[in-house]
Structure formats: C-alpha cells, structure tokens
C-alpha cells in the first residue's frame, strides 16, 4: 500500500525505511528542506546501525521517496503516519503538541481526495490526542473517509532497525474494524516473519496509555538499579552479581538492570514528566514516577560531583577527558543525554576547567549543544587523544570500543591518573595497577 510518513527523525525515518523493505510504497514528508535534500540523495540524516544500507537499497529500488510537499505524500495514501516530535514544555513538562496538530490540520485538506485513509499517531502523545486529531481532520473531511488510530512505536535508539523487524508486540489503538484491517495488512509481511509477535488490538486511549506506562516503568527500573548500585558501593556488594540474581527471577527479568549515570534520550525523561503532568491534571499523585524523575535528576548531579571530586585542587586549570557524548551507544542522539548533562554540570561548576571529548558518532550534535562552552571544549579524534594532558578520564557512554582503550598509553598521556567510569567499561584492576585511582558504579 502507499504509506505517507510525516517526520523523518529517529522514529519516522527508520519506520519509513522498514515499511519500504516490507514492500510498501513509502513517501516521507518533512518541512526541513536541507534534510529532505540529503535524503533525496539516498543519504541518511541520523545514525542507526544498518539504516544507511537499507535506505540506499530501497531508495534505489524506488520503494521510498522524500518530499517537502504534504500533497505528494497524502494524496492516494491508504495510511498516513504522524511521526513528529512532541518535546516537553519548558515549564510544565507536558508534551508540546503543536507539531502533531499542525500536521493533522495540513493533511486534512488533502485527505478529502482519497476514498478512505487511516491516520496513525506514532508520535508519543497524551491520552485523548486521537480524539483531538480526529476533530481537527473532521472540519475538512467527511467522517466516513478516515479513521484516526494510535500506533505507538517501541523502537530503541541504536537498535531501531533491528527492533522494527523483530518487534515484541505491535499495539494498535483503533475504534473501527476498517482501520484494524488496514493495519493488519500493513504488518502482515512482518507478522509472517515473526510468528511469535503479537498484534494487540486495544482502544485508542489504552494504546496511548501503553506507551507512557511502558517507558515510565523502564525508567523506574533504571532508577532502582542505580539506587542499588549506590547501596552496593556503601556495603561492599557487587551490583552485577546483585543484578544477575534479580534478573533470574522471571517476574523481574534481566533487562534494564545495568547501572549507569541515569536514563536519558528523547523518550524516558520526556515521557515520565508527561505522565506525571497528565496524572496531576486528573488529580492523581503518581509518587513512584515522581521519585524516578527526581532521583534521575539527582543522579546527574552526583556523577558530576564524582568527576569534580577526583580533580586535584592544586591544579589551577584542570582538564577532564570525556569518553562518550551520546545518551547511549549505537546512536548519535545527544538529546537529554546524561553524558551531556554531566559534562555541562562540570563545566558550569568550575569556570577554569577545560574538557577534551570524543564520541564515535555524536560529535556534530554535541557541538551544537556546547556552543556556549566552545572555547573550553577540545574535540578529539580518538579515545587516546582525549587522554592527552587530562587530569581525570570520565567514561560517560557505553561505546564497546572504549573497552579497548590502551590503559598503559593512557597513563603515560595523562597529567594525573584519575578515572571516573560511569559505565564500568574499563578494567578496574588494570587501572589501579597502573597507578590510577578508579571509581566505577556499584563495585568496590
């Protein structure tokens, strides 16, 4: 079928490329002229493992095209997917819905030309958004010519391509049989490849809630294991042994039990805050979600304090080497990255401090976020270069290649030998044998 995807970000682009690979005719729409120009050359505008190869393949085959024209995408489409951003409001932290509603309003003038179209909200949206989108479209389009559904995404950044083709479940919030049928046909090729995958059909409002509930639960799990890591550091237990024992319980499971500097990215912080806002709108007090939000904010400050504490106060102009800027490995996304937040906190706390940074994929995105500190940041080309003249080496993102850092070389390059390993990527025994003071997460 012809599918239009509105938005070519970390959700829209992998989804569009994935649907094209399944055999659908996909048109991706975006207002960003430069982004569309790059995509029209068959080049990706974000990093996801395997995405570039799939895009080139399906672009060459003519299965996916890119345009700034809403009409080109919507007219003739059986399905229109809204995959635009819903960033948090800077004050209330509620989801900013302007881009969703603008997309719905603009597409409505073209939907009238179609016989029947399903409009799917794939953006993470507050409960009741489907009703609002439906009302906006109904101002210009007869009700029998369209349906609005909730089709939440569950793609992990860094693994989006893999997750698209190997989903745990596909959740469809549709209130009509006609809409359910279209979505079933859309995913039929995928369901044949993954017979274990369940297509769960629920009400639209339940589907909208499932996304927030899932992300908030996972964020809470991360916050819990980080608190347990603090407990282990105080008591002499090992957080990895504790997590292994917990994860063997089928009721708990091993996923999201890795300690670190806190959760981040474009989803967990935004969605926990949005859920808390919606709860308060409904006169509810979600204490567990609130504790998760507050605890994660404190986690960032605590990690920054560890770095600052490791500095030798005798050094008038200390230098911190930073490995990792993206919020997780496998992506170039720096939005609400714990690494970036920790780095900014460190820079803010000591005006004489400078940093040397490296990330395999996220350097360009990081530069945009660090413009106000431009004179105090040196962008390096390797992990080894980061160590040159540094007093403290901080590991903030879990890129696998950081495990291969030549510790002996690092010891020779650094001015002082301190390591704050917020991802437990380096070998503590090796570091200490080379004269480093080493502090990891949840381990002695």
Neighbouring CB atoms inside 10 A of 23's CB total 12
> How would DSSP label each residue in 345-388?
HHHHH-TT-EEEEE-SS-HHHHHHHTGGGGGGEEE-SSHHHHHT
- pLDDT for 314 equals 56
Binding residues for NAD(+): 30, 35, 86, 124, 157, 270, 335
- For this structure, is 267 an active site residue? yes
Neighbouring CB atoms inside 10 A of 32's CB total 14
Strand order in the sheet with 146-150: 64-67, 25-29, 2-6, 79-82, 117-121, 146-150, 169-173, 198-202
Q: Which pair of tokens denotes residue 216? A: 């908030």
CA dihedral sign, ordered 255, 260, 262, 264: negative
Separation of alpha carbons 161 and 348, rounded Å: 37
Separation of alpha carbons 275 and 289, rounded Å: 8
For the chain, give the number of residues. 444
Per DSSP bridges, beta strands 198-202 and 2-6 are unpaired
Find the catalytic residue in 28, 197, 232, 267. Answer: 267
* Residue 150: closest CA among 89, 201, 88, 98: 201
Separation of alpha carbons 21 and 23, rounded Å: 5
Separation of alpha carbons 336 and 10, rounded Å: 14
* Residue 181: closest CA among 33, 252, 78, 270: 78
Separation of alpha carbons 314 and 329, rounded Å: 35
> How would DSSP label each residue in 385-412?
HHHTT-SEEEE-S--GGGGG--HHHHHH
**Residue 225 belongs to what H/E stretch?**
helix 204-235
Binding residues: 30, 35, 86, 124, 154-157, 211, 256-260, 264, 270, 328, 335
Neighbouring CB atoms inside 10 A of 171's CB total 22
* Residue 355: closest CA among 314, 327, 396: 396
Neighbouring CB atoms inside 10 A of 89's CB total 13
Separation of alpha carbons 99 and 108, rounded Å: 14
Separation of alpha carbons 60 and 55, rounded Å: 8
- 191 CB-near residues (< 8 Å, 6+ apart): 170, 197, 199
- pLDDT for 416 equals 95
pLDDT tens for the chain, 444 residues: list them: 999 999 999 999 999 999 999 999 999 999 999 999 999 999 999 999 999 999 999 999 999 999 999 999 999 999 999 999 999 988 898 999 999 999 999 999 999 999 999 999 999 999 999 999 999 999 999 999 999 999 999 999 889 999 999 999 999 999 999 999 999 999 999 999 999 999 999 999 999 999 999 999 999 999 999 999 999 999 999 999 999 999 999 999 999 999 999 999 989 999 999 999 999 999 999 999 999 999 999 999 999 999 999 997 657 899 999 999 999 999 999 999 999 999 999 999 999 999 999 999 999 999 999 999 999 999 999 999 999 999 999 999 999 999 999 999 999 999 999 999 999 999 999 999 999 999 999 998
What 3-state class would DSSP assign to 318? coil
Per DSSP bridges, beta strands 354-358 and 64-67 are unpaired
Separation of alpha carbons 386 and 414, rounded Å: 9
- pLDDT for 362 equals 96
Q: Which pair of tokens denotes residue 360? A: 């395999």
Q: Which pair of tokens denotes residue 294? A: 């507050």
């Amino acid at each position: 079928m012809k599918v239009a995807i509105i938005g070519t970000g970390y959700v829209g682009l992998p989804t569009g490329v994935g649907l094209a690979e399944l055999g659908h005719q996909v048109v991706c729409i975006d207002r960003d002229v430069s982004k569309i120009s790059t995509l029209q050359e068959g080049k990706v505008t974000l990093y996801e493992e395997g995405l570039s190869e799939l895009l080139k393949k399906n672009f060459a085959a003519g299965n996916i095209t890119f345009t700034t024209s809403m009409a080109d995408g919507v007219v003739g489409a059986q399905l229109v997917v809204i995959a635009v951003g819903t960033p948090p409001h800077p004050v209330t932290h509620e989801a900013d819905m302007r881009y969703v509603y603008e997309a719905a309003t603009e597409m409505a003038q073209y939907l009238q030309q179609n016989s029947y179209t399903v409009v799917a909200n794939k953006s993470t949206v507050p409960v009741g958004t489907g009703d609002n989108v439906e009302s906006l479209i109904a101002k210009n389009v007869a009700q029998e010519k369209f349906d609005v559904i909730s089709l939440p995404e569950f793609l992990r950044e860094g693994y989006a391509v893999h997750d698209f083709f190997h989903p745990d479940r596909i959740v469809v919030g549709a209130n009509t049989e006609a809409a359910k049928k279209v979505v079933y046909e859309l995913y039929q090729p995928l369901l044949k490849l993954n017979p274990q995958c369940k297509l769960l059909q629920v009400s639209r409002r339940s589907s909208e809630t499932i996304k927030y509930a899932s992300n908030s639960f996972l964020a809470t799990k991360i916050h819990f294991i980080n608190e347990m890591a603090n407990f282990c550091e105080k008591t002499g237990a090992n957080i990895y042994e504790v997590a292994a024992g917990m994860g063997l319980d089928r009721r708990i499971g091993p996923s999201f039990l890795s300690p670190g500097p806190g959760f981040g990215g474009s989803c967990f912080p935004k969605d926990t805050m949005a859920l808390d806002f919606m709860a308060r709108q409904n006169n509810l007090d979600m204490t567990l979600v609130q504790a998760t939000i507050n605890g994660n904010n404190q986690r960032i400050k605590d990690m920054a304090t560890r770095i600052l504490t490791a500095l030798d106060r005798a050094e008038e102009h200390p230098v911190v080497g930073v490995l990792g800027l993206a919020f997780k490995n496998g992506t170039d996304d720096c939005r609400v990255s714990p690494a970036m937040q920790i780095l900014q906190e460190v820079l803010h706390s000591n005006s004489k401090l400078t940093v040397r940074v490296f990330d395999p994929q996220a350097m360009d995105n990081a530069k945009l976020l660090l413009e106000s500190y431009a004179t105090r940041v040196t962008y390096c080309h390797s992990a080894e270069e980061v160590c040159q003249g540094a007093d403290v080496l901080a590991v903030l993102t879990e890129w696998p290649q950081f495990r291969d850092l030549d510790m002996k070389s690092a010891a020779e390059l650094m001015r002082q030998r301190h390591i704050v390993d917020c991802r437990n990527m380096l070998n503590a025994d090796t570091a200490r044998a080379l004269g480093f003071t080493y502090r990891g997460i949840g381990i002695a």
